């Protein structure tokens, strides 16, 4: 029934290649099917003004798409002179999601910036960014721990994200672009490796959904996140 032939609760093929670029303190190229996102982590010895002197660290994120990551070319945001509303919304989500999984006191007063740049898009780029971004973050933190700059691991529980939606009347896991553009109801679930919820964003466009459907989607999300967390653990072992 799904255009890709996948089962309703089946993820796309997932791969995470660490060390894809050499300068960043952590880097990973995550592929969820044809969605490819390059995630890098940058450590800096400064924090935003509002937490200076608090002893707490900060994790933030920026998101971008190469102009021809999509089927038709989108205008380059740098050339337009601003980040679009969708971009700003996504990068705020990624930062908030990753921070929820960080013990900021254990991290200490430093900032880690996660850059998520979509090289190729086929739906689900924000979820891939969170899942891959956590891997880049983990690699950077591992460096800090190896160097003795951080003593107790601030990343005890992985953070991963997956989209779910109602496609052709059925709840499905991990929508690709053909599904995403048809689904009247879809959203993203961000969870930890131990199954706790961090963020739910479930919206309808020209449609509504029931509480029953919401529960079915949440079941799918739990299954999908669990599988992604296994991939994250393997990549950062």
Binding residues: 86, 124-126
Residue ranges of the binding site for phosphate: 86, 124-126
Please choose, from the candidates 54, 143, 63, 130, the residue with its C-alpha nearest in 3D space to the C-alpha of residue 99.
130
The rounded distance, in Å, linking the Cα atoms of 23 and 139 is: 13
Binding region for a second copy (CB under 8 A) out of 21-29, 46-54, 125-133, 226-234? 21-29
Lay out the site mask for a second copy across 41-70 (x = CB under 8 A, - = otherwise).
-x-x-----------------x-x-xxxxx
The rounded distance, in Å, linking the Cα atoms of 98 and 158 is: 9
Pick one of 204, 216, 223, 227: the residue that binds a second copy (CB under 8 A). 204
Q: Are 67 and 74 in contact (CB under 8 A)?
A: yes
Please choose, from the candidates 158, 163, 112, the residue with its C-alpha nearest in 3D space to the C-alpha of residue 135.
158
Asked if 23 is part of the footprint of a second copy (rule: CB under 8 A), the reply reads: yes
Residue nearer to a second copy on the CB measure, 1 or 129? 129
In whole angstroms, the minimum distance from the beta carbon of 75 to a second copy comes to: 9
Residue nearer to a second copy on the CB measure, 27 or 236? 27
**Cα 132–134–137 angle (5° rounding)?**
115
Residue nearer to a second copy on the CB measure, 1 or 195? 195
What backbone phi and psi angles, to 5 degrees, belong to 43? -95, 130
Q: Are 63 and 116 in contact (CB under 8 A)?
A: yes
Asked if 192 is part of the footprint of a second copy (rule: CB under 8 A), the reply reads: yes
Instruction: Give the torsion through C-alpha atoms of 37, 38, 43, 48, to 10 deg.
Output: -40
Contacting positions for a second copy (CB under 8 A): 20-24, 27, 34, 36, 38, 40, 42, 44, 62, 64, 66-71, 73, 76-83, 85-89, 91-92, 96, 99-100, 104, 113, 115, 117, 119-121, 187, 192, 196-211, 214, 218
């Amino acid at each position: 029934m799904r255009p890709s032939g996948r089962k309703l609760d089946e993820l796309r093929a997932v791969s995470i290649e660490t060390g894809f670029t050499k300068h960043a303190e952590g880097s990973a190229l995550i592929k969820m099917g044809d969605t490819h996102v390059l995630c890098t982590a940058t450590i800096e010895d400064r924090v935003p003004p509002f937490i200076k002197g608090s002893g707490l660290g900060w994790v933030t994120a920026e998101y971008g798409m190469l102009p021809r990551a999509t089927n038709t070319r989108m205008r380059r945001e740098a050339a337009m002179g601003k980040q679009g509303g969708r971009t700003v919304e996504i990068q705020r989500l990624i930062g908030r999601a990753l921070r929820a999984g960080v013990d900021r006191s254990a991290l200490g007063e430093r900032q880690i910036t996660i850059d998520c740049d979509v090289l190729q898009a086929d739906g689900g780029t924000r979820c891939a960014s969170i899942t891959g971004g956590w891997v880049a973050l983990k690699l950077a933190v591992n460096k800090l721990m190896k160097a003795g700059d951080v003593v107790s691991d601030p990343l005890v529980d992985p953070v991963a994200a997956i989209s779910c939606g109602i496609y052709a009347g059925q709840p499905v896991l991990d929508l690709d672009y053909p599904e995403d553009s048809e689904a009247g109801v879809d959203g993203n679930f961000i969870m930890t490796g131990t199954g706790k919820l961090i963020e739910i964003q479930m919206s309808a466009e020209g449609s509504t959904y029931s509480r029953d459907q919401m529960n079915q989607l949440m079941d799918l999300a739990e299954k999908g996140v669990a599988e992604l967390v296994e991939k994250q653990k393997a990549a950062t072992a």
